[in-house]
Amino acid sequence: MAKLYFYYSSMNAGKSTALLQSSYNYRERGMNTLVLAPDLDDRFGAGKVTSRIGLETLATTYGEDQDLFKLVSELSGASPLHCVLIDEAQFLTKEQVHQLGEVTDELNIPVLAYGLRTDFQGEPFEGSKYLLAWADNLKELKAICFCGSKATMVIRLAEDGNAITQGSQVEIGGNDRYVSMCRKHFKENYYQETLVPQHQLPLEVIESGD
């Protein structure tokens, strides 16, 4: 019986790399996969999933109003699908998470979703909240805080290095905009609204300020 899996973490834990590896494992054995990515994330070009280590693959994009059960049903009718993989799954809607459950239950196709658990304010994304509630299997991917502890939270950075505490939940960006931290250092930086110490910043942010 197919299952719905949710692989979650903060940023820079290798979610996209894990997705690409899983897709490759299926394809290596002659099986077909469908990689889905939200149309709002075009950092590396629309219709692509790209990892930090340079691996990439083409993806089918979807919008927040798209019926994913219908999409998968139509594509699997044209050619058998053996696995559906979702990048940036935190951007799914509640309805789309339900639709992915239908993909596993009615079409018997496993779904592997990869995404962030919380946003820059420590609040759950809609997609992540319902994946955590409804997925058959949950697996945390580990990112590392500057202190060496597991990073479970994300800080959004202003241009001056301050932690941003207000704003839209969705703002696409990479290491130039976000830093993964453990809960302790998230609280220190977010609630005190202090300048994030330079030794806590990614190297590319430090170099951009020179």
CATH number for the domain formed by residue range(s) 4-141: 3.40.50.300
In the chain, the DSSP E strands lie at 4-9, 33-38, 48-50, 56-58, 60-62, 83-86, 111-116, 137-140, 143-144, 150-151, 153-157, 163-164, 178-181
Please identify every residue annotated as catalytic: 88
Task: Enumerate the domain spans of the chain.
Answer: 4-141, 144-208
Q: How far is Cα 81 from Cα 28, in angstroms, rounded to an integer?
A: 14
**Per-residue b/e over 146-165, b at no fewer than 16 CB within 10 Å?**
beeebbbbbbbbeeebebbe
pLDDT at 191: 79
**pLDDT at 49 (0 to 100):** 75
pLDDT in tens, the chain (210 residues): 899 999 999 888 888 899 999 999 999 999 999 999 998 766 656 667 777 666 777 899 999 999 999 999 999 988 899 999 999 999 999 999 999 999 999 999 999 999 999 988 889 999 999 999 999 999 999 999 988 999 999 988 877 777 777 766 666 555 567 888 999 988 888 877 555 555 455 555 445 554
pLDDT of residue 88: 92
CB atoms within 10 A of CB 74: 10
Q: How far apart are CA 13 and CA 180, in angstroms?
A: 9
